[in-house]
Each structure stands twice: as C-alpha cells, then as structure tokens.
C-alpha cells in the first residue's frame, strides 16, 4: 500500500500540491474561528452531576444577580502604607463612582465597613458581573473596570487592581496568547537551527516550518468545525499544545523520511527511485507511529473531565492530518525539489566511523550490561515520582506580574486569602426554610476548621432558597482549601439542614470536584491507552513479547520522567506542587510520542531479523542505521517542547520540561540502546511467533544491504 502511494505521489507531485492548496484554502476561508469555542472556566468542563454544578444552577435560578462571575477590586496606597481616613473614604466612594458609570457587563459594585482591612492597608470592593467567567460581555467588562478605576484614582496616592474569577480568566487567556507567540517563535528557531546543522541544507531547514505552518491552520479550522458540529468547547491550553505537537511530530516524520531518503541516495539510487523506496519503507513506521499517538489520545474520550476529553479531538485531528501530510505533501515537495534538496553539499557519503556504529557494536556485544545500567538509571528516577504533589493553584501558575496575581497578593497580605473567592452554601427546600435551621447552618459553618468568616444567610423572594457565603482562611486554590471543602465543610453543611437540598459551590468547590473527577479519569485513561498502544504495536511488529517490552520500557520512562520533574520543580525550584493535569497529559505524550522512536528502531531490528541476521547483528545494524535518526528527531521534538518553559506559565513549563525529558530519554536512551539490547538478550523469543525462515517469503520488508554491515555508517 505504501509503495503504491509513494509511486503515485512521486509521479504526480504538482497535482498533490495543488489538491492540498485547494483543500487548505477552503478550510481557512470557510472554517469557524476556534477561539470562539475556547474556555478556561473549569466549571464548564465538569459533568452536570457534580455538586458545584448543582450549586451554580441553584444560584442562577434564585440569586441571578450574584451567581455570576465575581471580582475583588483591591485599593491600596502607592507607597504601601496605611490608608488614612480620607484615603478610605476615597476608596469606598469608588464603588459608587463605578456603579454610576454603568459599565456594560457589570451588575453591581459594592462596599461596606467590612471592605476595609483590619490593618487599614487595603480596601476591597466587590464587583458582580452579568454572566459567567469567560462570557464575552464579562471578558470585555474586566479591562473596562480596571480602566475606570484607574481613571477615578488619578491625582490621588491610591492604586487599584482587579482580581477574582473573571479577571483571572481574562489574564489567563492573555497569558496563553502570549505563550503561543513565544512557543511559535522558539519552535521555528529550534527547527531551522537543528535541521540546518543535521543536513547542512537551507531548503531542508525551511521545509518543515512552511509545511507544518500550513497544517496548523488546517488543523485549527477542522477542530473548530468539530467543536461546532458536536457542540463542545476546548481548553485555552489547546492552541499552545497544538503548536508543539504539530511542529514536533511533523518534524519527526520529516526527519524519518529524509534520513531514509538520504540513505538510498548514498547507496547510488536515482532520486525518484530513492524517494519511492524511502517513503515505502518509512511509511509503515510513520503510519504505525501516528496510529499509536492517535490511539493514546483517543483514550482521553473516556475522561469525564472536559478539560481533558476536549483535548482529544484537536490532538487526534492534528496527528491524522500530519500523517496524511507526511505520506503525500512532504514527499511531493521533496520530489519537486529533489535536484536541490540537499544543496549545497549534497547527500554526502557514509563515514567509515560514527558514534552510532560504535554504540551498535557495544550494545550487540554487551546487551546485559547495557540493559542493567539503563534500567537502574530509570528506576532511580522513577522512585522520586512517589513524591509528586498536585497543585490546583491556577492563579499562582501565571507570571508573578499578572494583574490579577498582583491584586491578590496585595489582598492576601491584609485580609483572609479566601476573600478572593468565597464559597457558597446553597439551601433549597420545597417550602419556606425555617430560620432556626439557617441559624444552625451558620453556626455550624463558623465552627469548621479553616473557615475565617461566614456571612448571614440571604433568602430568596419565595423563601424556599438561601445562600450563605463562607470565607476560608487560605487561598481558594490551595490544597488545604480543597481539603476543607471535601473533608469538613461539605459534610457539616449537608447535615445541618435536614430535609433540604444543600449544595456547596464556588471556585474552591469546583476545583475540589475537578480533583475528584481527575482521580477517576486517570484510572480509566491510563490502562486504556496502554491496551490501545499494545494492540497497534502487536499488529505492526507481528509479535507478542516485543510490544510488551516496548510498553514496559515506555511506562518506566514515564515514571522516570515524572520523578525528574519532582526533583527539578519540587526539590530544586521549591514549587509547592506540580499542576494537577501534568501527569495524565505527560503520560499520554510519553507513551504515544515516545513510542515513535521505539517503533522506528524495533521495526528496523525486525527488518534485519526477518532478512536472516542474527539478533546481535540485527541490533547492531539497526542502531548504526537508525540510531542517529531516532536521536536527532527526539532532540528536535524535545527542544520543541522545551520552548514551553519560556512562557512564564508554570503548568506549561512543567509539561514542556516533562515531555522534553521523556522524549529525549525515549529517543537517545530507550530506542538506540535498551530496546536493541532486550532484543539481543531475548533473541528469537523477542519476535515470537515471527521466524526469519517463515516470514522471508511473504515479508515485504526491504532486505538489508550488505554494505550497511560493512561500513557501519550512520543515517
């Protein structure tokens, strides 16, 4: 199949490019805007059965004026000192000023005696918005409130800052937009530099950047259509992840093809014959790699947490389109530019000595030592993964100079941090709620450890619903706050008003529900991804033990990668924890993308084994021929993901560092050393039930050339 497709593409390259141009142009012109279907509101991603969602629904029905997005406008002196009585009056009067401004999207701006901090250094005004965080009107109102407050405080010694869920989401979206630009620039520089060094050809350096940029626009359009057709929203992190996935995976596939193409040219084949042969041989590897990645990402559909399962369509579309690109558009472009593809130095000649030739000999002669040393290194790193601590502090993960973070820090220095986002306890009954039961509820909530203050109940017009605001004494994003909700506050609230529906909501309660669902999703996604990848590897390698070896190797690599993250971020950089979504996303990336290099190496070992080579010779030739390919592609992908560390967003920094470590371990350690050493140690059993004599007659694998054994040159 791949040989037929390769011949068609090589024979009609211009037609392939024209078809691509028409398809991409139509998608770019007619597809909706993906940004219109993007949200960072965690509550949008929770299943409707969760308590925080029930609480939000009660609030929307009975207390619509205060159930929407909220904000805290923090007023302080520019010199950081205490507010004088005149300063306090000015700050409190700001509420009236802003209320009279009738800012679109703002319901109320209120202040009272409780707005002044006990140390007289801060005044906190409460802002209620008309809608939920992320709604267009609310997003537009956030900068409007900030600008209006700054204007009102002109010519005073006071300054203001807006924080709260509405402002945090706006700042988060802005941070991710900035991050996407940084990632794109850094990724392009990485690809241009590394490919230029590897192939010493400006055309090859530029080729993936142009092609993948076109694919990125195509994928965004197709994903936007999917969100529209199937009515779902995607996370604000998707765009940044798509950039690195497409450029990383796309460059991987391009490098796989170019190295094999150059190998054929060095063997004296004509340009188009070499392209057809390379595409035929690598097409099987690329297709298997892509299907493995798609299968692993498909496991995300089992997650009930929307921030995870909404990533699946975009990532699957991205890899599927990149697969089609690697098998059609990239070979077509190579065919068109075949005469100058390796200009100015040409494909060159295989050197008589190389690092990977020496590595191949070492692994073939000492497979046990190789396996033990690598296994020991990975196990030591994996031990540290047990120290992983999750953090749900989405505000703290943004750059320290983010406006909402600065305002929160100012607030937390003078008032309970929980003032940023109070927890709501809603009560709903079939009839009027007795006052004594509400009094009992309030008293019981005041006695909960971790609660700083409880406001008097507000009762709905018909008397059948009430809400009590609870201020915690820790940050609403902290693990302690989430534990307070789950372990103490919810049980007390539920038992305080018998016969009524009690639902605890608010931002902290939402994060507590996210944590609960994430634990459940992890138990489903992890094993499903393993099973899917195992089936695909078994179909590719036509063996039972080989796929098991690859999967165990990749799983150990994941554990070692997570352990390395714990060492770097929790022990060296002293982070309080690592973002809660990092392990599950990291797992999928390491299992899926990390398997690419194992597939590349295992398939070449199998090719040589099927051709009749003894296991040590098969491993040596595979490392000699494909070791540089795997290492080069992995380093490029690792550096691409490492660009996430430049964004200033801690969750992206952790994900980028993690994938970079995992990919480099997979491509530079696992694929060229551990996998071949295991194949030598297990000999024919590694490939059972495949046997060279039985398969040689029917295998379509291209026989290994004798000169590869003699020269031991790299790809």
CA distance 391 to 650: 11
Q: How far apart are CA 46 and CA 43, in angstroms?
A: 5
Say which CATH topology domain 403-512 has.
Answer: Alpha-Beta Plaits (3.30.70)
Structure-token pair, residue 148: 């209006």
Q: Are strands 465-472 and 70-77 parallel, antiparallel or unpaired?
A: unpaired
Judge whether 598 and 633 are in contact, CB under 8 Å.
no
Distances (CA, A) of 404 to 14, 74, 410, 474, 600: 52, 10, 10, 17, 47
Report the alpha-carbon distance of residue 653 to residue 635 in Å, rounded: 17
Report the alpha-carbon distance of residue 473 to residue 240 in Å, rounded.
Answer: 35
Distance CA 160, CA 73 (A): 7
The token pair that represents 415 in the structure block: 């008032």
State the Cα angle at 611 between 610 and 614, rounded to 5°.
80
565, two tokens:
């993250």
Helices 311-324 and 238-266, packing angle to 10 deg: 20
Q: Which helix (H) or strand (E) holds 77?
A: strand 70-77
Distance CA 437, CA 496 (A): 7
By C-alpha distance, which of 564, 578, 593, 611 is closest to 670?
593
Spatial distance between the Cα atoms of 430 and 579, rounded to a whole number of angstroms: 41
Domains 68-163 and 403-512 share a fold: yes
Distances (CA, A) of 551 to 282, 531, 544, 638: 21, 10, 11, 20
Q: What is the length of the chain? A: 715
Is-contact 233 44, C-beta < 8 A? yes
Q: Which two tokens stand for residue 35?
A: 């940004």
Rounded CA separation 641/666 (Å): 14
How far is the C-alpha of 285 from the C-alpha of 213, rounded, in Å?
A: 23
Q: Which residues of the chain have pLDDT under 70?
A: 39-45, 350-353, 693-715
Tell the residue number behind the tokens 């499903």, with chain if given. Answer: 528
Two tokens, residue 712: 């031991």
Range list of H helices, 384-454: 403-412, 435-446
435: left (phi over 0), alpha (psi -120 to 50) or beta: alpha
Q: pTM for this structure?
A: 0.80
Cβ(468)–Cβ(457) below 8 Å: yes
Instruction: Give the per-residue pLDDT at 44.
Output: 64
CA–CA distance from 705 to each of 242, 258, 267, 702 (Å)? 39, 18, 9, 9
H or E element at residue 600: helix 582-610
Fold category of 68-163 in CATH? Alpha-Beta Plaits (3.30.70)
| 258-278 burial: b if 16+ Cβ within 10 Å, else e | bbbbbbbbbeebebbebbbbb
Per-domain residue ranges of the chain: 2-30+171-395+513-694, 68-163, 403-512
CA 216 – CA 209 distance, rounded (Å): 10
Of residues 95, 98, 149, 99, the one with CA closest to residue 125 = 95
């Amino acid at each position: 199949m791949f040989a037929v497709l390769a011949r068609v593409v090589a024979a009609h390259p211009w037609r392939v490019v024209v078809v691509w141009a028409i398809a991409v142009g139509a998608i770019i012109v007619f597809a909706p805007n993906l940004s219109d279907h993007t949200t960072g509101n965690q509550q949008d991603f929770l299943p409707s059965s969760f308590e925080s969602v029930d609480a939000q629904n009660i609030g929307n029905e009975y207390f619509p004026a205060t159930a929407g997005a909220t904000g805290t406008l923090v007023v302080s002196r520019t010199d950081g000192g205490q507010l004088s009585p005149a300063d306090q009056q000015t700050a409190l009067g700001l509420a009236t000023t802003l209320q009279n401004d009738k800012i679109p999207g703002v319901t109320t701006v209120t202040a009272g005696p409780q707005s002044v901090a006990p140390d007289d250094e801060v005044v906190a005004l409460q802002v209620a918005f008309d809608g939920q965080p992320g709604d267009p009107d609310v997003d537009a109102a956030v900068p409007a409130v900030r600008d209006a407050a700054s204007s009102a405080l002109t010519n005073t010694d006071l300054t203001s800052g807006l924080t709260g869920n509405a402002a945090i989401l706006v700042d988060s979206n802005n941070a991710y937009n900035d991050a996407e630009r940084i990632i794109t620039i850094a990724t392009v520089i990485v690809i241009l530099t590394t490919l230029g060094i590897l192939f010493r050809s400006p055309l090859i350096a530029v080729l993936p950047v142009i092609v993948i940029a076109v694919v990125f626009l195509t994928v965004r359009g197709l994903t936007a259509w999917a969100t529209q057709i199937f009515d779902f929203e995607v996370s604000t992190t998707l765009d940044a992840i798509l950039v690195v996935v497409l450029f990383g995976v796309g460059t991987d596939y391009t490098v796989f093809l170019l190295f094999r193409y150059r190998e054929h040219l060095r063997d004296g084949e004509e340009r188009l014959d070499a392209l057809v042969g390379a595409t035929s041989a690598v097409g099987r590897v690329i297709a298997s790699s892509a299907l493995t990645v798609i299968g692993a990402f498909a496991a995300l559909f089992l997650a009930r947490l929307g921030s995870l399962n909404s990533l699946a369509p975009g990532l699957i579309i991205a890899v599927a389109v990149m697969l089609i690109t690697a098998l059609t558009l990239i070979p077509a472009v190579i065919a068109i530019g075949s005469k100058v593809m390796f200009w100015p130095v040409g494909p060159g000649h295989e050197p008589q000595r190389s690092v990977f030739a020496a590595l191949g000999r070492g692994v073939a002669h000492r497979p046990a030592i190789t396996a033990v040393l690598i296994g020991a290194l990975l196990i030591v790193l994996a031990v540290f993964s047990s120290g992983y601590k999750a953090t749900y502090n989405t505000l703290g993960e943004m750059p320290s100079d983010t406006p909402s973070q600065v305002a929160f820090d100012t607030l937390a220095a003078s008032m309970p941090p929980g003032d940023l986002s109070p927890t709501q306890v809603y009560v709903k009954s079939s009839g009027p709620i007795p006052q004594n039961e509400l009094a009992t509820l309030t008293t019981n909530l005041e006695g909960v450890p971790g609660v700083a203050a409880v406001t008097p109940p507000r009762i709905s017009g018909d008397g059948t619903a009430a809400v009590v605001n609870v201020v915690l004494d820790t940050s609403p994003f902290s693990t302690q706050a989430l534990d307070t909700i789950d372990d103490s506050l919810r049980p007390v609230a539920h038992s305080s008003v018998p016969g009524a529906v009690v639902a605890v909501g608010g931002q902290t309660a939402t994060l507590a529900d996210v944590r609960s669902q994430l634990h459940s999703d992890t138990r489903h996604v992890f094993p499903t991804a393993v099973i899917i990848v195992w089936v695909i590897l078994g179909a590719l390698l036509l063996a039972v033990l080989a796929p098991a070896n690859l999967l165990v190797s990749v799983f150990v690599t994941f554990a070692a990668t997570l352990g390395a993250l714990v060492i770097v971020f929790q022990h060296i950089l002293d982070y309080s924890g690592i973002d809660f979504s990092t392990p599950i996303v990291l797992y999928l990336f390491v299992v899926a993308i990390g398997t690419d290099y194992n597939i590349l190496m295992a398939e070449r070992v199998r090719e040589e084994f099927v051709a009749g080579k003894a296991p040590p010779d098969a491993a040596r030739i595979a490392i000699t021929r494909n070791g540089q390919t795997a290492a080069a592609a992995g380093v490029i992908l690792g550096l691409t993901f490492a660009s996430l560390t430049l964004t200033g967003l801690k969750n992206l920094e952790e994900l980028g560092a993690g994938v970079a470590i995992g990919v480099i371990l997979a491509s530079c350690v696992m694929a060229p050393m551990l996998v071949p050493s295991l194949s030598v140690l297990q000999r024919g059993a590694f490939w059972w039930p495949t046997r060279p004599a039985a398969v040689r007659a029917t295998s379509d694998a291209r026989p290994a050339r004798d000169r590869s054994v003699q020269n031991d040159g790299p790809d």
